[in-house]
Amino acid sequence: MVSTSLPAPASTALSQSPPPAAHAGDLLPRDEQLFDRVLTQWQFGDWNRLATLDPEGFAHHPRRARLALLAAAGHQQLGHQDETRRLVHLAYEWGCDRTLIKRVLISGVYNTLGRVNALAGRQSHARERLETALAVGAPGQDLGLLMPVRVRQQFDDTGLPAHTIATPRALGQTTDSKADQATLEAAKVAWMLGDWNTLTTFDKADLVQHPARAELARLIAAGYQQVGDMAAADRCTQLALAWGEDRRLMRATLTSGAFNLLGRACAASLRYGAAQANFARALQIMQVRDDVNHSRLKARIEHQVAMIPGLDLAETVAAILGAEPETADGTAELAAS
């Protein structure tokens, strides 16, 4: 198995912000959350969505090089060799680091090997290859958080016959409904990462049919809370409670969201210690233990800082993580009470 200890300087990490480049198109309106969504699609292994990215649509985006590379990763998994080469070349022309390009393409090779081994029923080999795919492509990320969703997505894409359904269970999945479990897992990961826009996409007409509809509605409410759609947040909160979700858990989720909003506000005003404390508190509220996993906190902070216009992602995240934490603002709990 390939070593997962490849060098990872700031310029070769997928989630890091590249040096700003001046483009005439910077004056044009752009989707500020595009890179955040695309990176999540890569982490989840949603190759079909990645392959729909059109370079003309993000040619003036400040992270266009990484967007082109992630689009290439989608085409690589779908077997579109010519388009993969074209997008890789475009990513390089736009300034993408060679090491990052190599890492993402090697990650794709291991992802393919994982799917092949899964089809052959070699569960341990499949898990090793899929873990390596994530570790090589996204060093430092929480594999325990991302692996279940990546694995489920790969099995769904492969269309495994009935006699191989035991394979994903051997990789940690225990549900009888692949699609339902995949949706719930994806929503949980999106909440943990703080990918609020992705969470709101689960608000669909068929939500009422989902066996975990109460839990999903609670998580979707959290997503709407963070993007400022309070009417939708209230609607999903009421649905979650009507469908049997525990009121204390619902309150804890919204309280967590209030701390997350405070964390973003502190980050925007460059109060790094307060931002760290509030982001950590947002995660602590939803777990039994007081300590917060560093990689999960880092991932949450990265996604939240990416939502704030005008901040350098890498510098701001490093400043927040390196700051002496201040006391979290207790007004969040008062606001949610």
337 residues of the chain, pLDDT tens digit each: 333 333 333 345 666 544 444 343 343 445 668 888 899 899 989 899 999 999 999 999 999 999 999 999 999 988 888 899 999 999 999 999 988 998 899 899 888 888 877 777 777 788 888 888 888 888 777 777 888 888 888 776 655 432 343 344 444 443 335 567 777 888 888 898 898 988 888 888 778 888 999 999 999 999 999 999 999 999 999 999 999 999 999 999 999 999 999 999 999 999 999 999 999 999 999 875 556 778 889 989 999 998 998 889 889 999 999 998 776 554 444 444 4
Provide the 3-class DSSP secondary structure of residue 29.
coil
For residue 286, the tally of other CB atoms under 10 A from its CB is 14
What was the pLDDT predicted at 164?
Answer: 42
What was the pLDDT predicted at 326?
Answer: 74
Same domain? 169 vs 256:
no
Compute the Cα dihedral for 262, 313, 292, 147 and give only its sign.
positive
Q: What is the pTM of this model?
A: 0.55
What was the pLDDT predicted at 74?
Answer: 93
DSSP per-residue letters across 271-323: -HHHHHHHHHHHHHTTSSSSS--HHHHHHHHHHHHTTSTT--HHHHHHHHHHS
Q: Which of 60, 57, 59, 89 shows the shortest CA–CA distance to 72?
A: 89
Q: Which of 99, 170, 107 shows the shortest CA–CA distance to 141?
A: 107
Which of 174, 189, 214 represents a domain boundary (last residue)?
174
Is 200 a domain residue? Answer: no
What was the pLDDT predicted at 15?
Answer: 60
Compute the Cα dihedral for 327, 193, 195, 311 and give only its sign.
positive
Which of 124, 139, 174 represents a domain boundary (last residue)?
174
User: How many domains does the chain divide into?
Assistant: 2
Give the structural domain span for 329.
Answer: 247-336
What was the pLDDT predicted at 132?
Answer: 87
Same domain? 31 vs 130:
yes
What was the pLDDT predicted at 166?
Answer: 38
End-to-end CA distance of the chain: 51
Is 151 a domain residue? Answer: yes
Distances (CA, A) of 249 to 30, 192, 238: 36, 15, 13
Residue count of the chain, please give it: 337
- Contact present, 50 and 43 (Cβ < 8 Å): no
